[in-house]
Structure 1
Amino acid sequence: MWKRCKWFLDTTLLFLILILLLTVVFFNQKAPSFQTTGDVTGFVPKFSHRITTFTPDPDFFPDDAKKFFTNATRDKWLSLVPDGLGYLHIQRPEGYNNLPTPLLNYKKKDMFVVTTSVTHQLHCLYSIAHGYALLATGQEGKQSEAHWHMNHCFDYLRQSIMCAGDVALEGQQTTFAKSIPGSDGWDAMHNCKNYDEVFQFLERHKALKEHWI
């Protein structure tokens, strides 16, 4: 009698363990892990993270707005993006899920080309800075950016910032006038993607050789 009960208990336990293992496998397949503010198609790899403290760099936004139009300032901005500005050639797109509609300009070349959000954001920020520098130097008549593009960039950057949701804690400002309260953000520690890895990935899969921002 005892042997029969023990066999029944052992069999039941093994059956429950098997169900548990199958459940774990099932939910792992149904719920793929995506990197925060990352790709959902499977084309872009996960990048490592590093703790980063932001530091001011006036070479990107000179106090003298006229200097924004120098080669030195433009080179600083160009150093942020790889050749091709994040336009990527995806070979064998059928192997990935949820890909966006490819850019139409490249269909004749039989290339599946998309762009990337980080370089789009940098392009928008540069466009806004360029427009501001024109206004600050009294050259608004040379403004080449259409108003719809500026409005697009403001809204796109708004949603990009909210998507990232960076909640790094910031303390008392140290670079403004003493009479100004609040934070300048320079003392905060941020959990950032390794941008060197991002840059290298974009460079490896670039669809274009031109370098612009």
Structure 2
Amino acid sequence: MEKTRKEPPAGTLLIAVDNEEIIRFLGKAGEVRPETFLLFEKGIPGGNRDENFLDPAALPFIALRLLNILSASDPSNYSYYQRRLAEFQARLDSTVIVGRNMIGKKSILDLSWKYGRWLQASAEKVVRPPDAVKDDWASGKGIEVLETALEEALRQKWFIVTDPWTPGSIREKIGKMPLVIELPRPGIDQDIILFLYEIYLQIWDYSREIS
């Protein structure tokens, strides 16, 4: 039986990532609701929705956009939202700096699907295949290039980073290679800054274990 879409009550503040998300959850009618706001009014930059929420360059923009939306709907608490934005920015900046101290000298072959920009923010050497190449690997094409990259990572003793979204075709080639780190997905109620710090901590802890 098809699940019936439940409309939120009239007047409910709705915040969506982009227009595509509004249509997916509310249909075309969601586009014209006056209380609907989009984080990305002109579409997702770079085309990868999830990576923006793990990108220290994009996160301040997203936080500022939320400040504008919330303060427009609740102007009496503008100063509160402004303080929270400043706190978020300070925590984000300090976490990236701590990450550079923890993994800055590490060499990484990034075969994750969501965390590449976060890793690039702190590690000096992140070998990250272009999205088109990764898409080919995901569909089983160009696997010989992947095999060459893995051989080079093994020779250079790079860390190989994957995540829950790394396709099975790539996992199959990685097999039981050494120096592989599987990053977790964030929990729904998890503090995002703390989670991002734990990404760095996981890599740092693993490097200490094998040294």
Superposition TM-score tier, normalisation by shorter sequence? under 0.3
TM-score by length of 1: 0.22
